[in-house]
Amino acid sequence: MIRFAIVGCGHIAKKHIEAIRSINHAELVAFCDNNPARLEEFKDTYKIKGYLSLEEMLENEPQIDAVNICVPSGLHANLAIKAASYGKHIIVEKPIALTIEDADSIIEACEKNNVKLTVVHPNRFRPAVIALKEAMDNNLFGKISHANATVRWNRNQAYYDQAAWRGTKDMDGGVLMNQAIHNLDLLLWLVGPVEEVQAYTATRLRNIEAEDVAVATLIFSNGALGVIEAASTIYPKNYEESLSIFGETGSAVIGGTTANWIKHWVFEEVDETDAVALIEKINLDPYGISGHQQIITDFVEAIQQNRSPKVTGEDGKNALKLVLAIYEASERKKPVKLKHL
């Protein structure tokens, strides 16, 4: 049995609680939050021990094996490093951190204390994404010409006004760091490392510090080109999340309001009947098992089997590096090489 504790009793913590309670060999034993009212609400709802600080929780609950970091992004590093120093395995919500220095500090703390680390990028476990990864691994695309990642969603002003930290550069970031980073993780996972970025970002419609719209062009290390479009300004609600890959012998697009459906699937080596059958199969259950449940299930197994999780700290850092490169390219108004980050 792997015993979990959660830091931060906000909206995302509820997904972690639901996932942990649905997994064999996983048990939720405690959570902590520095907001007394929110802590009491969670204690009453979930009937689990609650504490006002991470240190108090770890001192009083030595049986904890793993800690899930579910606080604003700017707080990830301090809390993850503290939990790792107690010998606890770490699950950290996306993004891993807001700076490369903080990401490195988390990774180093986990390595130093010989504990596992995973970052919550659950979209890798979507059925359509798994099919896309298999197509890539089987070289069905041949030589890649280009790839597109698009997030056209709505986060209205009321969303940002829920808490003072939302939309700030020090605690949250904008549409790239908060919403689109999942799609960027998929882009890197599927097509490979990015060598160079040119980009523009803007804060057009929301009263926040960070960007609410961004566009970028990429050169991948394999020579393929890429395009990123991300916006939280779409009226009046979420419209599209998509990932498109085009190659010498294949083309594929997954999309929908969230990227859960196969919209286009044509490969030289795949019979049309088989392609239609795959699309129909995924359409029957496009969401599959909850991504958070799969992330935590994999983490339990990684601890039990003493192996690396499927999503590593370095994976989280790579997605962060791409976002930061987009920010820098936009600020400098010139291309940025990722190697120097």
* Domain range annotation of the chain: 2-115, 123-288+320-340
CB distance 1 to 25 below 8 Å = yes
Per the DSSP assignment, residues forming a β-bridge with 150 are 229, 242
Closest CA to 126 of 226, 240, 299, 254: 254
Measuring CA to CA, how many Å separate 169 from each of 166, 175, 331? Answer: 9, 11, 14
Distance CA 179, CA 85 (A): 30
Distance CA 332, CA 176 (A): 17
Return the pLDDT at 102: 98
CATH class of 2-115: alpha beta
**Quick one: tokens of 153?**
């969603």
**Quick one: tokens of 114?**
């010989």
Return the pLDDT at 341: 53
In the DSSP assignment, the letter for residue 155 is -
Question: Which of 14-23's residues contact partners 24+ apart within 8 Å by CB, and which partners?
Answer: 15/290, 15/292, 16/68, 16/70, 16/91, 16/292, 16/296, 17/46, 18/290, 18/292, 18/293, 19/290, 19/292, 19/293, 19/295, 19/296, 20/68, 20/296, 22/290, 22/293, 23/293, 23/296, 23/297, 23/300
* Helical spans, DSSP H, in 151-290: 157-160, 175, 181-191, 272-284
Distance CA 121, CA 317 (A): 12
Q: What is the pTM of this model?
A: 0.97
Strands 49-51 and 26-32: parallel
How do the pLDDT tens digits run along the chain, 341 residues long? Answer: 999 999 999 999 999 999 999 999 999 999 999 999 999 999 999 999 999 999 999 999 999 999 999 999 999 999 999 999 999 999 999 999 999 999 999 999 999 999 999 999 999 999 999 999 999 999 999 999 999 999 999 999 999 999 999 999 999 999 999 999 999 999 999 999 999 999 999 999 999 999 999 999 999 999 999 999 999 999 999 999 999 999 999 999 999 999 999 999 999 999 999 999 999 999 999 999 999 999 999 999 999 999 999 999 999 999 999 999 999 999 999 999 997 55
Q: Please enumerate in sequence order all residues whose Cβ is within 8 A of that of 62, keeping only pairs 6 or more positions apart, or say none.
A: none
Distance CA 73, CA 279 (A): 36
Q: Considering the domain delimited by 123-288+320-340, tell me its CATH architecture.
A: 2-Layer Sandwich (3.30)
Distance CA 179, CA 118 (A): 19
